[in-house]
Structure 1
């Protein structure tokens, strides 16, 4: 029997590529429709979890799974407790260090700058008053008066250089310092012209002196007052920063103690064990930091309050009294130089005499306020002395004014300048008493402010150390409980 020949093989299914003809040993090429292996794993499997979840989703899933078991919950609790206790120590260290730095600024930067600004005003005003007294003395200026004037100018120049080195040039204080540095050479030049004309017996000396006084009273002394006000405001800001309560530290501390208490109660309800040594140690460390923080800050605030009430406020009033006395003395001298040539705006009274009366009234008010704030005999003594000498000054000035209005200018002049029995003598005694009062109040302020800084000095390092010890205790307490599941 004859069989038909075999039929040719059917073509390959669509989509399956035949191997390329080629030399033996060359592997067949993959089909264009065959997907390449996925990068990220040797076998081509994808790194992304099924469903397209990312790393954060996986971490959340694992955390959720861990929270369903007691060991997992204990691990989470231990991490939270350790972080809270460490955070409490770190935040406390940061905030207390900030308060201590502000307290240090109060003592060693803000308050000295405020005192220097007041000293600048005092030196300039005294130089102006001394220059006027030198011209009133006659054609030959007394050597003592000249030395005092030069000493005042040198002091003002030195303090301005010191203040400029510690002040930002773009700040309000920096602008006032620039104004004073520009005006001081102009003022001294006018005074030298007045001295030269006066030594020649020319009336032009009085005109130059009045013009120098205008430069001083219209430009320099107002700038010095503004400088003093700006530095006093900076002192107030630093004082407020040092006194501010560490709210963040207290909040984190209370939160840490609350979570620790809850964790120990949870430990007791699940194991019926009253104490966990590790958690107790963490609680004790956190409580120690909190109590230390409250005690130290309370002491610091108390000392700063004492410094503000008994030192800073008294210093401000005594400085105002000294400024007023200097204004009164300068106007008293210029009353004799001008002899009624300069009137008030309404044209009825002598301008310098009116300014003298205003300054003396301000002096009396400031001394009364300083007397009320003085807390001991050492503080009240200088104030009482200044008040008594100011009253004597008024009496002698009234007598000199009566002589001047009666035409006896030489008699009035003898009651204004001179070492004995004059208003100049009483002014010097008022100034000396105020200087003693300022020195006493400065010492009181510095002592109280230093005590405030000392109360906070060791707390940042102590809080940091106790925070790490507390965190270690919390971890040990939790790990001991975890060991029961191993």
Structure 2
């Protein structure tokens, strides 16, 4: 017995069904209608991709990525001020200044969260990223308040001081592991949107034009087949469908005429993003190095030897310098900060001069002053690069919002034309 007989029988039945010309006409009409549906769907998706690659969306993402980095820096500033206040001698007068810095940094975090909420609109993913930071911030603030409350008295008992240091260590760990990582993710998500906008636009352009041309080609072939089979002139219905598809091609060409300029601007912005990230990476390392130094002075890094802590500092701070030409101007500032930290913190800690090391790390101290000069220059360069990116994206054109709607209407007209044209030919043939 031939095991391939059942499939052959099924194939034979299918051929019998499709053998009559009317059946083939109906099949052609069905395929064309499916092609119109796919064209309309891809047209709608292309509209969404074009909007994402257009001025409004990409400038929103640019603002959000800038705010995400500002959030990161403000959170790090708040933690540095809180740690510095814990280190400052009660009678030095520096606690008031550091309290002010801490409150200003927290106010800036809250302001940035509120401003960013206006950019995300109804996007649930972006709203969730902001909500993570907003919901976790009170936990950090509560830990800092407990640490400061235990060390607020001029003469704090050793037990209270140790407990305060434990709360401070927990707060700093929470900030690093939760809040700063949430800010990093937010920045990464927004820059990914900027990079994906160009790729999505390219795919949408190719897909929308490609499927429309393929549908137009299928219409042309169908008309030739029907004319040869029925020996009749061109069907008015199919002619209407063809005109609708030609109109679709023309409308898409008009809608995508902005793309060469948009693609160029998105490409330039992508290159600028790479340079922007390099600056951000350096600043995050510097903020990490300062935070490690403060924890070291507070006695919260006992798991590392002094040599290990110094090596960690120099690696995070980038004391070895950089080969980037645009950053060569900061070499002097990096060297000044690293030298001050080595001389006035590390070496003083080695010889037991802890109080002098703390003084150098606090505001107006040699290390703090050198860091602030370096950080200010880094922030200026980051802001400049961000402004360049924003200017490129602010002039990015976009396609009409009605692109998908017009494609849908034209595809519906084409569907009606095919239905009328094919059914007319079937009736005439019979």
Q: Give TM-score, length-normalised by structure 2.
A: 0.69
Partner of residue 103 from structure 2, selected from 109, 132, 150? 150
Q: Name the SS of the counterpart of 1:139 in structure 2.
A: coil
CA positional deviation for 1:78:
8.7
Give the aligned partner of residue 318 of structure 1: 279
The answer to whether the 8 A contact 2:74-2:105 is kept is yes
2: distance between equivalents of 1:85 and 1:342? 66
CA positional deviation for 1:402:
3.0
Question: CA offsets per residue over residues 160-205 of structure 1, 9 Å max, x none?
Answer: 57778966799687556544432321223312432x13x3476678
State the Cα RMSD in Å.
Answer: 5.0
Give the aligned partner of residue 424 of structure 1: 368
CA positional deviation for 1:133:
3.4
Q: Give TM-score, length-normalised by structure 1.
A: 0.62
The answer to whether the 8 A contact 2:276-2:382 is kept is yes
Partner of residue 128 from structure 1, selected from 59, 74, 79? 79
Give the aligned partner of residue 57 of structure 1: none
2: distance between equivalents of 1:176 and 1:279? 53
Note if 1:253 corresponds to 2:226: no
Change (3 A) 1:171 1:414: closer
Q: Name the SS of the counterpart of 1:262 in structure 2.
A: helix
Q: Name the SS of the counterpart of 2:306 in structure 1.
A: coil
Give the aligned partner of residue 307 of structure 1: 269
Question: CA offsets per residue over residues 374-398 of structure 1, 9 Å max, x none?
Answer: xxxxxx4xx4444431221112222
1:365-376 matches, cutoff 5 A: 371=324
Give the aligned partner of residue 405 of structure 1: 350
The answer to whether the 8 A contact 2:348-2:357 is kept is yes
Note if 1:118 corresponds to 2:69: yes
Give the aligned partner of residue 249 of structure 2: 287
Note if 1:234 corresponds to 2:189: yes
Change (3 A) 1:129 1:226: closer
CA positional deviation for 1:459:
3.6
2: distance between equivalents of 1:342 and 1:473? 77
Larger radius of gyration: 1
CA positional deviation for 1:85:
8.3
CA positional deviation for 1:223:
0.5
Q: Which runs of 5+ in 1 are unaligned?
A: 1-60, 373-379
Change (3 A) 1:109 1:424: same
2: distance between equivalents of 1:477 and 1:189? 80
Change (3 A) 1:241 1:290: same
1:298-447 matches, cutoff 5 A: 300-311=262-273, 313-338=274-299, 342-345=301-304, 348-349=305-306, 353-361=310-318, 371=324, 380=326, 383-400=327-344, 401-409=346-354, 412-413=357-358, 415-419=360-364, 422-447=366-391
The answer to whether the 8 A contact 1:210-1:334 is kept is no
The answer to whether the 8 A contact 1:278-1:476 is kept is no
1:205-284 matches, cutoff 5 A: 207=162, 210-235=165-190, 238-239=193-194, 242=197, 243-244=199-200, 245-246=203-204, 249-262=208-221, 281-282=243-244, 284=246
Partner of residue 141 from structure 1, selected from 74, 93, 115? 93
Q: Which runs of 5+ in 2 are unaligned?
A: 1-16
Change (3 A) 1:173 1:152: closer
The answer to whether the 8 A contact 1:282-1:470 is kept is yes
Question: CA offsets per residue over residues 51-105 of structure 1, 9 Å max, x none?
Answer: xxxxxxxxxx9x998849xxx97x9989987x57854762343112221454479
The answer to whether the 8 A contact 2:51-2:398 is kept is no
CA positional deviation for 1:222:
1.3
Give the aligned partner of residue 148 of structure 2: 191
Q: Name the SS of the counterpart of 1:140 in structure 2.
A: coil
The answer to whether the 8 A contact 2:285-2:316 is kept is yes
1: distance between equivalents of 2:275 and 2:329? 16
Query: Which structure features the higher share of helix residues?
Result: 2
Larger relative contact order, structure 1 or 2 (CA cutoff 8 Å, min sep 6)? 2
The answer to whether the 8 A contact 1:286-1:466 is kept is yes
Change (3 A) 1:100 1:78: same
Q: Name the SS of the counterpart of 1:257 in structure 2.
A: helix
The total of aligned residue pairs comes to 397
Q: Name the SS of the counterpart of 1:454 in structure 2.
A: coil
Change (3 A) 1:139 1:224: same
